[in-house]
């Protein structure tokens, strides 16, 4: 994974804690499975879901979990239409994730209902199940930084049960270039130096946009470049096209424009 230094550091600490207990058990360190519930905060496209999937797999491979299962849910998956429906649904999801990770995406949406009754039922049940299954699974709440902070402020009981807060920073322009290079390689093409220079300029401009998609934007750029490359190759003489032409993205193939900055609107006369 490119970048994500803060996330890597926190997750490494969580894994080290588990490994140390096993390694030093014969020297008197108590062997127990402490609560490892987490909050992932970051903007769209910062690989929160991908890291959660990898984390579950790593925990299984290191023998800390039995299954390594990752159960991904959102509000629609666990909040019922009527009062009384939510608790059984949440308990079923906890049971399904037992031995692995329960990943609750956009967790702040759980308390977005107008009267609060459905959200209150959801949160109270989640807190109870987190305590009941503190040694059986890990719950990861994920969402945008500002909204997740508001969500946790409303639920002090929930905050107290979360051991790790994992920030996912926006990617730098250079990191986005590395991601684009990686995505291009997986598609069987390479980028010329001129293409990478153009990408860096594009990414630095795109990072200032309010709805910037981080890694998702890098993927879109490469997909658009592949389409532009195809159009360019079709205009060339077939007999002159070499394999290196097919396997190379040039600067002229990078045509997508950066997202526009959000303009401030003046109110009044």
Q: What mean pLDDT do residues 27-51 have?
A: 86
pLDDT number for residue 150: 84
The CATH number that domain 5-168 falls under is 3.40.50.300
Contact 216, 45 (CB under 8 A): yes
Q: Helix, strand or coil for residue 103?
A: strand
- Which range, 6-10, 13-17, 244-248, has the best average confidence (pLDDT)? 244-248
Looking at residue 209, what DSSP letter applies? S
Q: Is residue 115 scored above 60 in pLDDT?
A: no
Q: How many CB atoms lie within 10 A of CB 204?
A: 15
* Sheet of strand 164-168, all strands in order from the earlier edge strand to the far edge: 70-73, 101-105, 138-143, 38-42, 164-168
pLDDT number for residue 13: 87
Looking at the chain, which residues constitute the CATH 1.10.8.60 domain(s)?
173-253
Angle between helices 173-186 and 215-234 (to 10 degrees): 50
Looking at the chain, which residues constitute the CATH 3.40.50.300 domain(s)?
5-168
CATH topology of domain 173-253: Helicase, Ruva Protein; domain 3 (1.10.8)
- Per-residue pLDDT reduced to its tens digit, 124-153: 899 999 988 888 899 999 999 989 988 888
Q: How many CB atoms lie within 10 A of CB 39?
A: 24
Q: How many CB atoms lie within 10 A of CB 156?
A: 9
- Banded pLDDT at 267 (limits 50, 70, 90): very low
- Banded pLDDT at 268 (limits 50, 70, 90): very low
Listed in sequence order, the residues at least 6 apart from 122 whose beta carbon sits closer than 8 Å to its beta carbon are 78, 79, 86, 90, 110, 111
Contact 250, 195 (CB under 8 A): yes
Q: Write phi, then psi, for 249 (nearest 5 degrees).
A: -100, 120
């Amino acid at each position: 994974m490119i970048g994500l230094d803060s996330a890597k550091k926190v997750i490494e600490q969580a894994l080290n804690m588990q490994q140390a207990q096993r390694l030093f058990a014969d020297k008197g360190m108590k062997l127990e499975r402490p609560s490892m519930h987490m909050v992932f905060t970051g903007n769209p496209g910062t690989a929160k879901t991908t890291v959660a999937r990898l984390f579950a797999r790593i925990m299984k491979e290191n023998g800390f979990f039995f299954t390594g299962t990752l159960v991904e849910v959102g509000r629609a998956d666990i909040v019922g239409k009527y009062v009384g429906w939510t608790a059984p649904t949440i308990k079923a999801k906890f049971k399904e994730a037992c031995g692995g990770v329960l990943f609750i995406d956009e967790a702040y949406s759980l308390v977005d209902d107008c009267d609060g009754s459905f959200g209150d039922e959801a949160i109270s049940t989640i807190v109870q199940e987190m305590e009941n299954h503190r040694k059986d699974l890990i719950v990861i709440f994920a969402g945008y930084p500002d909204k997740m902070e508001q969500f946790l402020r409303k639920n002090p009981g929930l905050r107290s049960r979360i051991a790790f807060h994992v920030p996912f920073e926006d990617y730098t322009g250079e990191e986005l270039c590395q991601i684009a290079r990686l995505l291009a390689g997986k598609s069987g093409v390479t980028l010329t130096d001129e293409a990478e220079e153009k990408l860096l300029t594009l990414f630095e401009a795109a990072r200032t946009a309010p709805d910037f998609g981080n890694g998702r934007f890098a993927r879109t750029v490469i997909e658009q470049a592949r389409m532009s490359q195809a159009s360019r190759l079709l205009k060339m003489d077939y007999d002159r096209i070499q394999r290196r032409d097919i396997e190379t993205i040039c600067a002229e193939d990078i045509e997508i424009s950066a997202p526009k900055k959000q303009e401030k609107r003046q109110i009044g006369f």
